[in-house]
Amino acid sequence: MPLLRTVLSGGLRAALGILETFGARGPRWEWKKRSWTQALEERLAHWENLGRAVRAPVRMCPACRMLVERSVATCPSCGGSMRGVAGGGVGRALSLVVPGAPSVSVVIVTVNVVMLLVTAIITAADSEGGLFGAIWSPSGVVLWVLGSKWTESIVEGEVWRLVTANYLHVGIIHLGLNSLGLVSLGPLVERSWGARKFFLIYTATGVAGFALSALVRPRIYSVGASAALYGLLTFAFVFGRYRSGPAGRAFSAQLGQSLLYMVAMFFIPGIDNLAHIGGAAAGAILALFVDPTEPRTPLGRAWLWALTIAGVAITVGSFAAMVITYPEHLANPPR
């Protein structure tokens, strides 16, 4: 870095000298000289800070602010997860060139958007409203083909619908409302419990919500991320209220306001409230058992990885089953 500073600073001075030789003068020129010199100094300082970050042997725990070795995945002081905390070494150097992986919340919202576009395109192919109309109100048959909750199909073996239904929506307004809730609440749970636990909680509460709906209301189609959103909300509320300190209880009180808004949604016609109840109940139950810290034993870490891999495999397998059955379902929709 000292050599780079010398070369770039010397090169700028030489270039300024050449321009002055050819007659660059006056107040405006002096202002430009200072601006260019200051910009170079700021850039060099930024590079030096990045260099120190790459060489740093430690990183700070976001929970207790303790400095721990950069290779440690769990804080030895409080047990908090160090995942997502930038450290030094080759990984930090590569992160300066290659953008970091998006959060699970962003991935879920992206999948939801893609699935709405797929639903709208298939709907528009057989309707007069075109793509614009299909985005606002996609076909219920198409939603069934792509994996909505439908008890008869689930009983016949298509249990994967309990997963795919979480990623489908009945129009752009439905998607927008659920996405707004997800980008508001999702990162909070993801930062506090880690990406793996967040994904497992989201999946488990969504499946539980549609399972209850399929059991009690078998003759309706049902889709949407709101069952999982209710699960995330009650999970954070119950944990903060009963398993955390004063700060958690204060946060839980704030979430209580959101619970009131979500209770009001029960009175909106056409909404699958049983899916909401199932997701909320599952979230509350999970909050009594799921710990926010990373597992401290090799067996605990192995279990968490095994559950994460199983959750991802179930989700990917559910979408694969939807693709495989798509031609048959498109040709033989339910009556």
Angle between helices 226-242 and 195-216 (to 10 degrees): 120
pLDDT 10s digits, 30-70: 887 788 788 878 877 776 766 666 666 777 777 677 777 76
> Does 250 score more than 70 pLDDT?
no
* Rounded CA separation 253/314 (Å): 35
Q: Which residue from 117, 137, 115 is spatially nearest to 128, judged by alpha carbons? A: 137
So which residues are the catalytic ones?
A: 226, 276
* Rounded CA separation 178/128 (Å): 28
Which of the two residues, 18 and 306, has the higher pLDDT score?
A: 306
pLDDT 10s digits, 77-132: 777 666 656 665 555 555 554 455 568 888 999 999 999 999 999 888 877 767 77
Cα angle vertex 284, ends 283, 287, to 5°?
Answer: 85
Share of the chain above pLDDT 70, in %: 79
83-97, 168-182, 228-242, range with the lowest pLDDT: 83-97
Ranked by mean pLDDT, which of 13-22, 53-62, 127-136, 152-161 comes out on top? 152-161
Q: How confident is the model at residue 144 (pLDDT cuts 50, 70, 90)?
A: very high
The radius of gyration of the chain from alpha carbons, rounded to an integer in Å, stands at 26
Question: In sequence order, what are the residues at sequence separation of 6 or more whose Cβ sits closer than 8 angstroms to the Cβ of residue 99?
Answer: none
Task: Report the pLDDT averaged over residues 159-185.
Answer: 90
The helix/strand/coil state of 169 is coil
Q: Which residue from 225, 103, 124, 122 is spatially nearest to 166, judged by alpha carbons? A: 225
Q: How confident is the model at residue 245 (pLDDT cuts 50, 70, 90)?
A: low
Which of the two residues, 42 and 203, has the higher pLDDT score?
A: 203
Give 138: exposed, middle or buried? Use CB within 10 Å, 0-12, 13-18, 19+.
Answer: buried
Q: Which residue has the tokens 């298509």?
A: 158
Q: What is the mean pLDDT of the chain?
A: 81
Task: Report the pLDDT averaged over residues 3-32.
Answer: 75
* Rounded CA separation 177/182 (Å): 9
Helices of type H across the chain? 2-21, 27-55, 89-95, 104-125, 130-136, 140-145, 151-155, 161-164, 172-193, 195-216, 226-242, 246-264, 273-287, 298-331
Domains recognised in the chain with CATH numbers: 107-331 (1.20.1540.10)
What is the Cα 284 distance to its own chain's centre? Answer: 20
Encoded amino acid at 331, one letter: A
* Per-residue confidence (pLDDT) for residue 265, from 0 to 100: 66
* Per-residue confidence (pLDDT) for residue 98, from 0 to 100: 47
Q: Which residue has the tokens 């946060």?
A: 251
Distances in Å between the alpha carbon of 292 and those of 78, 79, 301? 11, 9, 13
